A = this chain, B = another copy of it.
């Protein structure tokens, strides 16, 4: 497929955009990456392609936009069904992977960002506790999902690997900025090993943002969010 048939509207620091990139890499799909700087302005193409949320990522396949990162990953899996499967083949395993992916977006990632963004030590401490509790749940989920292999998806990267793995850059940022330990060899040995396998994977390693660059961006983002008086 020619790259002009597939466009991804995204931004390099976004974990949600990263999900789409990893899914496209797994399926060896070429695409044009169109960097948006959504903190400054939004392109006409973005506003037209995602009028409801006006948010990245948007995958544009031909003329048709697909929005929301987890929906994009499922779309890519279904359209390029002949490539390596992303969703598990068993319906129950799919339901479990979908459950944890929704948990990550609804509960866990908000706790993670609140470690950086909250005002006051008490709120930061609560956020840290919630993020660590979430990692304990995911450590346990890994045992059940991976069935003794390297990834949540078994012997290959799957849906939940992508859903959680897209946040690893921000986990590293928060470990540095807040001087905390999140994914840890002693407390979460499964996730610690998984992090190494995932981050070094061919579909991932070239699109994971560099930690130093992400740390600099996070300083800018925190200043902007706190400066605007919103959370």
Q: Which residues of A contact B (CB under 8 A)?
A: 52, 61, 64, 66-68, 71-72, 74-75, 78-79, 91-92, 94-95, 98-99, 102-103, 137
Contact = CB atoms under 8 A, between A and B. Distances in A.
Given A52-B103, A71-B98, A71-B102, A79 B64 contact: no
B92 A66 contact: yes
Residue from A72, A74, A137 having most chain B Cβ neighbours under 10 A: A74
Contacts of A91: 75, 78-79
Contacts of A67: 99
Given A52-B103, A52-B137, A103-B52, A61 B98 contact: no
Given A52-B137, A137-B52, A92 B74 contact: no
Contacts of A78: 91, 94
